[in-house]
Copies of this chain bind each other. A is one copy, B any other.
Amino acid sequence: MATGRTHRPATRSRGIPEATVARLPLYLRALTALSERSVPTVSSEELAAAAGVNSAKLRKDFSYLGSYGTRGVGYDVEYLVYQISRELGLTQDWPVVIVGIGNLGAALANYGGFASRGFRVAALIDADPAMAGKPVAGIPVQHTDDLEKIISDNGVHIGVIATPAGAAQQVSERLIAAGVTSILNFAPTVLSVPDGVDVRKVDLSIELQILAFHEQRKAGEEAAAVAAATGDVVAPPPLRGSAAASRKGPDGDVPAVMPA
């Protein structure tokens, strides 16, 4: 996952657990694909496989929404698409603004996945005067000075921040002051926002770092396995804590198992 709830520890909103809410878009995507292939019904087992989750979990998730299945048959695809869409609030139009039209902001503006889900890019905003008026994804970029007016004129409640880290906090404050109550933050910073404002963050480098951790672990295991196979003595797991003898400076101790 590239994101993590920043706020709202795990409040189950209206009885639907947060974890379930996070999976609904996944189900919706799988169901939409089935719908396009004109599949009338689907069992929890099939849909779970398509969404990459456990079937029991899927059934429990749906049970929070209501009894939308038919025993012995499964779920009506079209009906479920509608119910989930409605639950997620996708049956209405959500105007969003993207602030920070650099490489990432431009990519987001061009991203097709938004429009198809009821999200409409109402405006692109950038602090660079040179960008003003220049069309990106068919939408002219507007200057930060007009941020407040753009937000209120378009009734925007959802903002996307794709600015450099240094500008993110200030941008978020202006967005919030202008009426935005949900923020998707791509800037690598922790935003501090008042209660009632939801922030979700996507940090590309964090995801890679988590992968690197597991990758390193795999390499270590592999090395250990090879060593074991060749009869070599494997270095014991590094003694942490008291063993950090020298202390101080990036050379305190050396990884016991160094991947190739």
Contacts and interface: CB of A to CB of B under 8 A. Distances in A.
Contacts of A104: 107, 111
A212 B22 contact: no
Nearest to A250: B82
Contacts of A106: 103, 107
A177 interface: no
Contacts of A204: 108, 111, 113-114, 184, 202
Contacts of A116: 205
Given A14-B217, A29-B188, A241 B198 contact: no
Interface in A170-220: 181-184, 188, 190, 192, 196, 198, 200-219
Contacts of A157: 215, 219
Q: How large is the interface on A (under 10, 10 to 19, 20 to 34, 35 or more residues)?
A: 35 or more
A213 B255 CA distance: 45
| Oligomer copy total | 2
A230 interface: no
A215 B182 contact: yes
A3 B6 contact: no
A13 B209 contact: no
Contacts of A209: 24-25, 28, 88, 90, 117
Contacts of A94: 208, 212, 215
Contacts of A127: none
Contacts of A90: 209, 212
B212 A158 contact: yes
Interface of A: 1-6, 8, 13-14, 21-22, 24-26, 28-30, 50-52, 65-68, 76, 78-79, 81-83, 86-92, 94, 96, 102-104, 106-108, 110-111, 113-114, 116-119, 157-158, 160, 181-184, 188, 190, 192, 196, 198, 200-219, 237, 240-244, 247-250, 252, 255, 259
